[in-house]
Amino acid sequence: SVIQLLLSFAKLDIGAFQETLGAEGMALQMRAIASLLMTYCSINPDYDNMLQDVIEMVGYFAVYNLENQSLIQSGQQPTILQQLVSLPFNYFCDPRYKWKLFPTLIVCSHNNATNRAIVENECSYRELESFIETPNIDDEIPLLKIFLDKRRQENGDAAKENPSAQQ
């Protein structure tokens, strides 16, 4: 599918993926298509795999990109972010679904107070934080590998800039 092709592109070069889909004009199309697919797939169980791919694609679109994070919480209601936090209960408890949804919710709300408030309104942020603390989780989920590697890099850079903070 086109969504799987886009996921392959994201995994190959996250920067080019975000720049391409986040470009003026293209970003609005991406938001409209993702929203439409999430609406359609979430009410049609035959398209469950496609919904999981769309969820993952949204995560790649948003990871460490404040403009794209803003895009997923704007636009026609319900927004993409509102759709994510309103998915059926099994996405919040069944590991098959959590492993797609939770990384996307984490990266969509990281360093973004507005998005975090939307996520916290519907689910426990502590549960999301616990999820990413699972040992070796970044070996299992490529999106979290990108997120956690960059976060470790930022934390390392911050520690180098302020060595007294480590004491």
**pLDDT score recorded for residue 84:** 97
Angle at 73 between CA 70 and CA 118, to 5 degrees: 115
- Is the model more confident about 1 or about 60? 60
- pLDDT tier at 22, thresholds 50, 70, 90: very high
Residue with tokens 């970044």: 138
Whether the predicted pLDDT of 131 surpasses 70? yes
CA of 167: how far to CAs of 152, 162, 163, 164, in Å? 18, 10, 7, 6
Q: Model pTM?
A: 0.90
Q: What is the pLDDT of residue 159?
A: 63
User: Model confidence over 73-117: pLDDT tens digits?
Assistant: 998 899 999 999 999 999 999 999 999 999 999 999 999 999 999
Task: Give the start-to-end residue ranges of the domains of the chain.
Answer: 2-160
pLDDT for the residue numbered 160: 63
Structural element, H or E, at residue 61: helix 48-62
The phi and psi torsions of 45 (rounded to 5 degrees) equal -60, -20
- pLDDT tens-place string over residues 45-57: 899 999 999 999 9
Q: Does residue 154 have a pLDDT over 90?
A: no
Instruction: Calculate the CA dihedral of residues 131, 136, 140, 145 and round it to 10 degrees.
Output: 80
